[in-house]
Amino acid sequence: MKVAPKVVFLFRDREGFASAILDSLHPNSPSSLRRLEDSFELSLEGYGITDHKASGNIFHYVDDQGIYQVSVVAMQHYEPPVISCAVNEVLAKIAGDKSSLTPTLLVPFIMESYKIKGESKSLTADESKTSLVYGIQIGEETGISQTLVAITLKPPSSLQIYHETCACFLHFARVLKLSTFFLIGQTGQHSRSKSTKGELEILHAISEILSSTTGLHFSKDKITWNPTMTAKESKEPWRALYG
């Protein structure tokens, strides 16, 4: 699977965070970059899975010489155990492509605070919102990862993340020796109204980080994410009976 040296890897989660990030990133106005869209659908029969395929879209940002500068992979969301097989298959295709430079994968996750255990951090007046985004590097250090280390929060040694998709990705990135940088933001620490505002701030922070490292433009007004329910509520339809 051919990709650019810089790859943003997103999962189309139920909450719509991935779609919101994807919608907010565009080529700069004076830039010569143009966007090409492609799709993929990979068989999982080798894992004994016949009713699902690893599918998604890839958006390539190409310069006027036809060279891939940035790729954005938007993969469909899957539940365990399918997610581990799908992630392994897609990452293996990326790692197996020898026609381009070894890519650096930028993988943002926004997850509920109960899935992140460890020391917490509050934002001070002198810090930007990006200071609330944890940065975790896997594999070979690159110029991009060095930049990201400088603008993200170093996770404490006590940090533990309980997130199936993130855990799968981290495992296979290590196995396949792919240079990967995780951006981890957390939500849901406050009341509903404050939580929604906090989620938007984390969305903006992660999008700004991706923009600064990929050369794409972050359009704040392009973020259309407006959740009507949380993921936990969506799994509990009986709540609708009580308004």
The pair of structure tokens assigned to 220 is 């704040």
The b-or-e profile of 100-120 (16+ CB within 10 A means b, else e) is eeebbbbbbbbbbeebbeeee
Q: How far apart are CA 33 and CA 82, in angstroms?
A: 35
pLDDT-derived band at 109 (thresholds 50, 70, 90) equals: very high
Question: Would you state the pLDDT for residue 226?
Answer: 59
pLDDT cut 70: percent of the chain above it: 82
Residues 6+ apart with CB under 8 A from 182: 107, 108, 109, 134, 135, 136, 137, 138, 166, 169, 170
pLDDT beyond 60 at 113: yes
pLDDT beyond 90 at 156: no
CB distance 117 to 21 below 8 Å: no
Q: What is the pTM of this model?
A: 0.85
Phi, then psi, of 4 in degrees rounded to 5? -80, 170
Question: Would you state the pLDDT for residue 242?
Answer: 37
Residues 6+ apart with CB under 8 A from 69: 4, 5, 6, 33, 61, 62, 63, 215
Structure confidence by residue, pLDDT tens digits, 190-225: 444 445 667 888 889 999 999 999 999 998 877 766
CB atoms within 10 A of CB 10: 23
Question: Would you state the pLDDT for residue 62?
Answer: 95
- Whole-angstrom CA distances from 185 to 86, 105, 155, 164 are 23, 17, 11, 15
CB distance 101 to 5 below 8 Å: yes
Would you say how long the chain is, in residues?
243
pLDDT-derived band at 174 (thresholds 50, 70, 90) equals: very high
Average pLDDT along the chain: 84
pLDDT beyond 90 at 180: yes
Domains of the chain: 6-242 (3.40.50)
Q: How far apart are CA 40 and CA 57, in angstroms?
A: 6
Residue holding tokens 């973020």? 223
AA letter at 38: D
Structure confidence by residue, pLDDT tens digits, 135-151: 999 999 999 999 999 99
